[in-house]
Structures are given as structure tokens and as C-alpha cells.
Amino acid sequence: MSETLAINGGQPVRTRPFPSEGKVGKEELKELVDVIDSGAMNRWGGTKVVAFEEEFADIHGAEWSVASTSGTAAIHVAMGMVNPAPGQEIITGPITDMGSIVPILYQGAIPTFAECDAETFNMDPADIEAKITEKTAAIMAIHLFGNPCDMDPIMEIARAHNLPVIEDCSQAHLSEYKGRLVGTIGDIGCFSLQQSKHITCGDGGITITNDEEFGLRGKLFMDKGWHRALYGPRKYEVFGPNYRMNELSGAVALAQTRKLRDIIARRRANGDLLRELVADVPNVRAQKLIEGCKHTYWQFGMRVEEGAPFTADEFAEALKAEGISCGAHYIGRPIFLCHDALRNQRLFGNSHHPFDHPNARPGIKYDDDTTPRTQEVLDRLVQPHCPTQFMSEEDVRDIGAAIRKVAEGLGQ
Ligand SMILES: Cc1ncc(COP(=O)(O)O)c(C=O)c1O
């Protein structure tokens, strides 16, 4: 007979709070003071944003990098690099943040969605291939929670169809796929530095590439298309918004980038420990990691197994009672059903742009039948408190013990 669950009046596994997340400190402050002392707060005239771009690119072995104001902006920069015509399609994943989707639509392209795999929660390469049409302009892989997508088959499919691959690494800084960093396997990598991400400057983003044409276009796209090296009468070379990162954000992003490897090493060690601790727990299973890959645990995703004697919501409630926070279902529904205007294809005034563009494939719609397997993945998904870089081994062991207690206790 196992211990009484806290939800049934038993003793919770954890009553102490977890260590708080002091993500920034004196290193960030020092860089910020430089900016204030210099008075140069715009990237043109300052040094921090450029240094951030260079150091982030160096870590990734990338030739080109474009800092911007958010992960959403970083993906919009990627769209500016690929430059789809209105009505062309970008195949992406239905389990993501709206920040992956908005830039596609603002660029006049149409997102189409590949199913997610029940075990990795990432896009299923076979379904990516099935979703390719004569309108497809690119594939955008999303490394969910820090777990790398299966990039070999994705790249094989993309190359066979001559399509560029964008990687949305917003949740996956320094995740590795068979010895390669995510963001460097496809043609373009996009990262978010929003507050909750592995490194942060409050809000920020960066896009990397080794393709010169993409690199040049991205640099211009981020800055209204204005080639600043060319003085004289204004000549804009690319049509784009202003996504310039400012020097204050750049200062923090630079200091954070210098800590990135350490942060990831600690976070990965703690995440891998939790993965080990729960490996034989009945009725729940950690997000599957493909052989030879390294996770970075932005979230610790788990699946409530088919036939389990409890639901995802029951598991999450019982775990919370044990003193361990736990989410259920992540975004709840595939992203295209999370927004009425997107589901109804009424994004710009009362038009149906871009869905009714003459170049668009007729009949694209978003409903329950678009990715039914993905809805099942979300229905079974739980997110116990993710081990952070700030936690001790004992903290992680408490999370593991609580997961085991709940999965065994609810199973009786
Ligand atoms: C997978 C993914 N893509 C894109 C974004 C957008 O990033 P941001 O919030 O920095 O715009 C996020 C943010 O949560 C994300 O998780």
C-alpha cells in the first residue's frame, strides 16, 4: 500500500518553495552601465547588439545573425529571408506559441500544419511530407520544450522538394540533434529571449543562418530595408519593418549569451536526472528523446499513457497537492484553434486575406479534422515543474518522488 496522496489528505512531498530564479546579475548590470555611460542606446552607434550577434553566431558556428525585438520578430525576419509570395504555404507544427504563426500570416503566407508524434510531441516528418503542395515555400520545424525534432528525415524531405527549412528554437537554446546544435541544421534558426526562455533580455530575438542571401536580406528586413552603408538619397532594398534590438536589451542579451553554455549544462543535468528518476514510473512517460539527441528542458513534458486509470487533469491536480506545480494540455488545442480570428480566417479587417488571395490554394481550413492526432497528444500532455538550472539534486529528486507517488497512488 503506497503513501496517502496529499490530495486525499496525506503529507505533501514538498512544502518548501523551490529556489527563486535570479536570471540576471552583476554581469548584465556591467554591460548596461556601459550603455548608459556611452549614451548610445540605438544599435547603430552602439556596440552591444553587434557583440551579442557576433558571440551568439560564434557559439552556433553561424556566418550571419540578426538580433531583433522578440522571438516572433526573429521568425518574421526568417520570413523576410525566405520571402514567400502571398498565398504560398509554410508547413509548421500545431503545438506552439502564436509567435510562430503570426509572422507567416503578416508576410501574406499561409501556415499549414503537420501532425505531432505521440511520443516526441514534435512534428511527424511523414506528415510534413504529406502536407507539401505546389504552394509550399518552406518548412518550419519547432523544437518543442527543448526537444529536437527528427531533423534528418525533415532535411531529406526538404532537399528532395527544394524547400528551405527554418528551425524555431525559441524553446531550445543549445539543444542538440546527433551532435549538431539546433538552429544550424536547417537553413535558418530563430531564437526567443523572452523572460521565460533559457537566456533572456526581457524580450528579444535572434535569427541565424549560413546562407549569404538569407543573411543579407535578414539584416535589411530587420531595419526597414534600408542599407545604411549607402549614403545619399534614401534607397530601400527590402520591404521590412523595424525590429532593431536596442542597446539596453543588447547589453543584457550579450551578458546572458556568455552564460548560455553554463546555464544549459546545469539545466540539462537536472532535466536528465528527472528523466532518469521517472523512467519506470507507471502510466506516465517523459517526452521521448531521439537517440543521440540532447534536450534542454524549457518544459518537462510527459504523456499520460493510454489506458492509465487517471486523466491529465487528475494527475496535474494531485501533483499540485504534493507541492509540485503542474500544467495540463499545454496550449489546450492546436494553435490554429486557439484564436477565433485565425479559425475563421478573418485576420485583416473584414477580408479573408491571405486565404482568398488569387495565388492561394482554395479550400484551406482549420478545424478539428486538421490535425486530430495532435489533439490527442495535447489531451494527454502534462507539464510537471521543470527542473531549472537553479535547483539542487534534492529539489529534482522531490519532483521525481512526487511524480512517482501520484502516478502510483492514482493508479490504485
Ligand atoms: C515555440 C515558440 N515560438 C515562438 C515564440 C515567440 O517568442 P516571443 O514571445 O519572444 O515573441 C515562442 C514564445 O513563447 C515560442 O515558445
Residues with Cβ < 8 Å from 4, sequence gap 6 or more? 10, 11, 409
Range with the poorest average pLDDT among 123-132, 232-241, 326-335: 232-241
Question: CB of 189 within 8 A of CB of 74?
Answer: no
Q: Please work out whether the CB of residue 167 comes within 6 Å of at least one atom of ligand 1.
A: no
Q: Please work out whether the CB of residue 99 comes within 6 Å of at least one atom of ligand 1.
A: yes
Q: What is the layout of strands, in order, in the sheet containing 64-68? A: 64-68, 205-209, 188-192, 165-168, 136-142, 89-92, 110-113
Q: Which long-range contacts (CB under 8 A, 24 or more apart) does 307-314 make?
A: 308/283, 308/284, 308/411, 309/283, 309/410, 309/411, 310/283, 310/410, 310/411, 312/379, 312/380, 312/381, 312/382, 314/410
Q: Which tens digit of pLDDT belongs to each residue from 79-100?
A: 999 999 999 999 999 999 999 9
Which residue is it, cell 550579450? 254
- Rounded distance from Cα 6 to ligand 1 centre (Å): 35
- Percent of the chain exceeding pLDDT 70 equals 100
The residue nearest atom 5 of ligand 1, judged by CA position, is 99
Which of 166, 192, 201, 335 best tests ligand 1's pocket when mutated (most atoms within 8 Å of CB)? 192
Work out which ligand 1 atom sits closest to the CA atom of 203: 10
Work out which ligand 1 atom sits closest to the CA atom of 72: 11
For residue 35, which of 51, 18, 47, 21 has the smallest C-alpha distance? 47
The residue nearest atom 12 of ligand 1, judged by CA position, is 97
Question: CB of 306 within 8 A of CB of 373?
Answer: no
Q: Which tens digit of pLDDT belongs to each residue from 360-401?
A: 999 999 999 999 999 999 999 999 999 999 999 999 999 999
Q: Please work out whether the CB of residue 247 comes within 6 Å of at least one atom of ligand 1.
A: no
Q: Which tens digit of pLDDT belongs to each residue from 144-201?
A: 999 999 999 999 999 999 999 999 999 999 999 999 999 999 999 999 999 999 999 9
- Percent of the chain exceeding pLDDT 90 equals 96
Q: How far apart are CA 140 and CA 186, in angstroms?
A: 9
Domain boundaries, the chain: 26-258
pLDDT at 1 (0 to 100): 54
Q: How far apart are CA 90 and CA 255, in angstroms?
A: 34
Q: Is the pLDDT of residue 53 over 80?
A: yes
Q: Which tens digit of pLDDT belongs to each residue from 319-339?
A: 999 999 999 999 999 999 999
Q: How far apart are CA 129 and CA 17, in angstroms?
A: 46
Grid cell listed for 41: 542606446
Q: Please work out whether the CB of residue 168 comes within 6 Å of at least one atom of ligand 1.
A: yes
Residues with Cβ < 8 Å from 92, sequence gap 6 or more? 100, 101, 104, 111, 112, 113, 114, 123, 139, 140, 141, 142, 168
Model confidence band, residue 235 (pLDDT cutoffs 50, 70, 90): confident
| Mean pLDDT over the full length of the chain | 97
- Rounded distance from Cα 92 to ligand 1 centre (Å): 14
Query: What is the reported pTM?
Result: 0.98
Q: Please work out whether the CB of residue 299 comes within 6 Å of at least one atom of ligand 1.
A: no
Residues with Cβ < 8 Å from 369, sequence gap 6 or more? none
Which of 72, 79, 298 best tests ligand 1's pocket when mutated (most atoms within 8 Å of CB)? 72
Model confidence band, residue 233 (pLDDT cutoffs 50, 70, 90): confident
Q: Please work out whether the CB of residue 70 comes within 6 Å of at least one atom of ligand 1.
A: yes
The angle subtended at Cα 148 by Cα 83 and Cα 245, nearest 5°, is 50
Report CA torsion sign: 133, 95, 207, 211.
Answer: negative
pLDDT at 27 (0 to 100): 98
Number of residues that make up the chain: 412
Work out which ligand 1 atom sits closest to the CA atom of 96: 1
**Across 292-321, average pLDDT:** 98
Which of 149, 171, 297 best tests ligand 1's pocket when mutated (most atoms within 8 Å of CB)? 171
Q: Please work out whether the CB of residue 150 comes within 6 Å of at least one atom of ligand 1.
A: no
- Rounded distance from Cα 139 to ligand 1 centre (Å): 17
The CATH number, out of the four listed (1.20.1050.10, 3.40.640.10, 3.40.630.30, 3.40.50.1390), of the domain defined by the range 26-258: 3.40.640.10
Question: CB of 109 within 8 A of CB of 124?
Answer: no
For residue 405, which of 325, 270, 315 has the smallest C-alpha distance? 315
